[in-house]
Amino acid sequence: MNSSGGGRLDQVVANSHREREDREKGYRAKALKMYPWVCGRCGRTFDHKNVRELTVHHRDHNHDHNPPDGSNWELLCVYCHDNEHQRLTEAMSGHGGGQGDGPGLGATHNPFAALGDLLKGQGGGNRGD
């Protein structure tokens, strides 16, 4: 039972990966046709030799949200793309410092960062030192 169940799981995982790759190929091809081959963060330009290093970033971080006008996409080099996701991870965990991040990096904003302090100060009316 264990080997047949594992085989089924492997098949489901493989199908999921294949479907994701097919979906990514579709929006990647569209984004590369719509936008200039320039990283939206660092400004690095790309050509046919190195375009594989240019990725499609989903601004809302939802890879299933692919409007036909491309409004949820931006092209980022692999380094800036990794950095953007790292910043989001840090912001969500509360460990992101935010100093020196520069303009236009909205994904690092955490609107609930001070919520705990606000809730603690609810009873006494004191919001901080």
Q: What is the pLDDT of residue 99?
A: 45
Helices vs. strands in the chain: H and E counts, helices first:
3, 2
Token duo for residue 38: 């320039």
The end-to-end CA distance of the chain, in Å, is 62
| HSE value, Cβ hemisphere, 13 Å, CA-based, for 94 | 5
Average pLDDT over residues 9-36: 85
More confident residue, 45 or 128: 45
Average pLDDT over residues 96-112: 53
Gap between the Cα atoms of 106 and 109, Å rounded: 6
- Give pLDDT tens digits for 46-85: 999 999 999 999 999 888 898 989 999 999 999 999 999 8
> Can you tell me the distance from the alpha carbon of 119 to that of 127, in angstroms, rounded to the nearest whole number?
9
> How many C-beta atoms surround the C-beta of residue 77 within 10 A?
21
Q: What is the pLDDT of residue 4?
A: 56
pTM of structure: 0.55
pLDDT of residue 85: 87
pLDDT at position 89, please?
A: 85
Average pLDDT, the chain: 79
Looking at residue 122, its pLDDT comes to 64
Residue 58 — φ and ψ, nearest 5°? -90, 115
